[in-house]
Every structure is written in C-alpha cells, then in structure tokens.
Amino acid sequence: MEIQKVGVIGAGQMGNGIAHVMALAGYDVVLNDVSQQALDAALSLIHKNMARQASKGKISEDDVQAALARIVPSLTLADVGATDLVIEAATERETVKQAIFEDLQPHLKPHTILTSNTSSISITRLASRTDRPERFMGFHFMNPVPVMQLVELIRGIATDEPTFKACQDVVARLGKTSASAEDFPAFIVNRILMPMINEAVYTLYEGVGSVKSIDESMKLGANHPMGPLELADFIGLDTCLAIMNVLHDGLADTKYRPCPLLTKYVEAGWLGRKTQRGFYDYR
Ligand code: CAA
C-alpha cells in the first residue's frame, strides 16, 4: 500500500521535526496538537529550520514553499483518521499515548498504519489497546529530526511484514536509514545512550568531574558531537529520566537505576534547554 498522507500527533520537539521531513519528502501532512499555540510555534519553527536549510543551498526556496503548503495544522483527531500513516509523537507517558490511540480509533480508515515515535515504551503493549496490532509499530526518529540520519523501526509482537515494509519504504523516501529493533525496553539507541548519560550524571553526582570537564572529556576524548550532559539538556531531563525508569522497571536490573541527581533536577523543573535550565543555565 502506498503511503501518501501522514498524520503527526504532537507538535513538540519531535512532532515538528517529523512534519518537516515528511513534507519535504512530498507527503501531505496533518499536524495535530491539542494546543493552537503549540501548532503556531511548530509551524514557525519548521519555517525557520527549512529557511536555514535553504540558506545553505540544501533545498530551494520553492521546496520550502511547497513543503509548507503540504502541512495542514489540526486541533481534532478526526482529521488524523483520514491519513494512511499515523505517527504519534506526544509526551513520553504511556497513559497519554494510550488515550490518544483510543480517541483516534473511531476516526481511522481500515488500512491506516499506526505508529508511535516513543523512545522506550512497549510497542506490543500500546498496540494491544488498538483494533490493529498487526498494523502497529514503532517509528522512532532522533533529535534533531531534520539532521539525524537514523530511524529505528520497532516491530511489536504482532506487527505484520507489509506494515514493516511500508514504514521501511517511507524511511527510504525521507533519505534516511532505518535500523530494525525488537520490542524490548528502550530498543537499541536509548538502551545504549541513556545509561551513558545516566553514568555521566553519576560522575557529576560523585564529584569525579565538573559539568564542563565531563562534557569536554567526552567531546574531545571520545569524539562525541555533544558532551553527555549537554546532550541530556538537549533531549530533556524529564525524557532521560522517563527512559531510565522504563529500563529499570522493564529489565529489573539495578544497573539502570536513575541517578538521584537526575531525579532531583526533574523534580526542580530543571528539564534542560526547554525550561532554560538543566545542567547548564540558558537564561
Ligand atoms: N533543522 C534543520 N537543520 C538543522 C537543525 C534543525 N532543527 N539543527 C541543526 N541543523 C543543521 C545546521 O543547519 C547545520 O547544517 P550544515 O551542516 O549544513 O551547516 C548542521 O545541522 C549542524 O548544526 P550546527 O552547525 O548548528 O551545530 P553543530 O555542528 O553543533 O551540530 C547537532 C548540532 C547536529 C545537534 C550536533 O551537535 C549533534 O549531532 N549532536 C548530537 C545529537 C544526538 O545525539 N541526537 C540524538 C539524541 S538521542 C535521540 O534523539 C533519541 C531519543 O529518543 C532521546
């Protein structure tokens, strides 16, 4: 089945990036959020990021205008039901995601493929609450979406082959590379990345190094583009903590215990760049 129209639920950090790359690849996009303010902010950020790509000669001004015209903002899930592929990119909380899929159900066309951009939650469990577990899978982009090459594709226990293939084809049309992951907590990227970030927070917590020395060590000593604490601020400390909790609960191993300092920052509302304060102060 050919995918032509894509519904993206959630216009935040990941959702606006997903709408951006889908529209540039020629898909018609319905970008849905519960907040008009979030939709306005997303559309202006997409415009700004596309303009940046155009100013570097990666795309033309005509590409930008055509892509922007393909994105239709929406405040109602009924609009999303009339698409061929849904990518849910709402908050990383299972109850929120389940409620969205339940509310979406009555509006869906029979053939619509449902996916979640979850970075760690069980695809099999999310799928089991829908009427189409065989046409449900994980479609996990990396941040910043327009720049990062990888998309993790995660099969739930019931995902069928045509669904997987259709999503693989979409990733190829985006000019990105897919990696197939089985449905275990946090899949591949976050299974490896988050314990490293958590260990960097322990390194700070135990006084082994300062924020600056930890980040510089990993940038200059391991050639990482960002230090782990800078990256944590970029991803969002609440998201990092949520993923560590999924690993800790799902794999029942103390090696995934979230660092108490990470928990404390989240409790303080210091969530990284999005709140202007995390391991760094952006005010
Ligand atoms: N949209 C479009 N283009 C963007 C962009 C955006 N949102 N953000 C950056 N860019 C482009 C820039 O225009 C620039 O393009 P050129 O190469 O053509 O000049 C390029 O990306 C690099 O950007 P900058 O020069 O501004 O900055 P940089 O060189 O410091 O790179 C970075 C920024 C790409 C973010 C880099 O620091 C990096 O790769 N960091 C690591 C990111 C990472 O690890 N992401 C994965 C996080 S884990 C995840 O996402 C999974 C999860 O579930 C939590």
DSSP secondary structure, 195-225, as one string:
HHHHHHHHHHHTTSS-HHHHHHHHHHHH--S
Residue 62 in domain:
yes
Residue 282 in domain:
no
Whole-angstrom distance, CA of residue 17 vs CA of residue 42: 9
Residues 230 and 174 grouped into a single domain = no
Angle between helices 61-70 and 36-55 (to 10 degrees): 160
Domain of 198, CATH number, reads 1.10.1040.10
Q: Can you give the residue range of the structural domain that contains 242?
A: 191-274
Residues 12 and 116 grouped into a single domain = yes
Indicate left, alpha or beta for 187 from its phi (over 0: left) and psi (-120 to 50: alpha). left
**Whole-Å CA distances, 274 to 5, 83, 118, 166, 277:** 30, 30, 19, 34, 8
Residue where a domain stops, chosen among 164, 182, 200 = 182
Dihedral in degrees, nearest 10, Cα atoms 233, 234, 235, 241: 0
Name residue 111's amino acid.
Answer: H
Which two tokens mark 149?
């090459």
**pLDDT-above-70 percentage for the chain:** 100
Q: Is the CB of 53 under 6 A from ligand 1?
A: yes
Read off the pLDDT band of 116 (50, 70, 90).
very high
**Which one of 116, 122, 152, 178 is the catalytic residue?**
152
**Which one of 117, 190, 198, 230 is the catalytic residue?**
190
Residues 28 and 73 grouped into a single domain = yes
Residues 257 and 140 grouped into a single domain = no
Residue 164 in domain:
yes
Whole-angstrom distance, CA of residue 116 vs CA of residue 122: 10
Specify the pTM: 0.94
Residue where a domain stops, chosen among 165, 182, 199 = 182
The pLDDT value given to residue 92: 87
Residue 279 in domain:
no
Residues 176 and 93 grouped into a single domain = yes
Nearest to 274 by CA among 240, 234, 216: 234
**pLDDT-above-90 percentage for the chain:** 98
Residues 148 and 212 grouped into a single domain = no
Q: Is the CB of 189 under 6 A from ligand 1?
A: yes
Condensed to tens digits (0 to 9), the pLDDT of residues 266-277 reads 999 999 999 999
**Total domains present in the chain:** 2
Domain of 112, CATH number, reads 3.40.50.720
Q: Which of 14, 53, 116, 147 to mutate to test the pocket of ligand 1 (most atoms within 8 A of CB)?
A: 147
Residue where a domain stops, chosen among 139, 162, 182 = 182
Q: Which atom of ligand 1 is nearest to the CA of 58?
A: 18
The pLDDT value given to residue 229: 98
Q: Coil, strand or helix: which one is 175?
A: coil
Q: What is the DSSP letter of 37?
A: H
Residue 150 in domain:
yes
Answer whether residue 90 shows pLDDT above 90.
yes
Residues 169 and 203 grouped into a single domain = no
Q: Is 33 labelled a binding residue?
A: yes
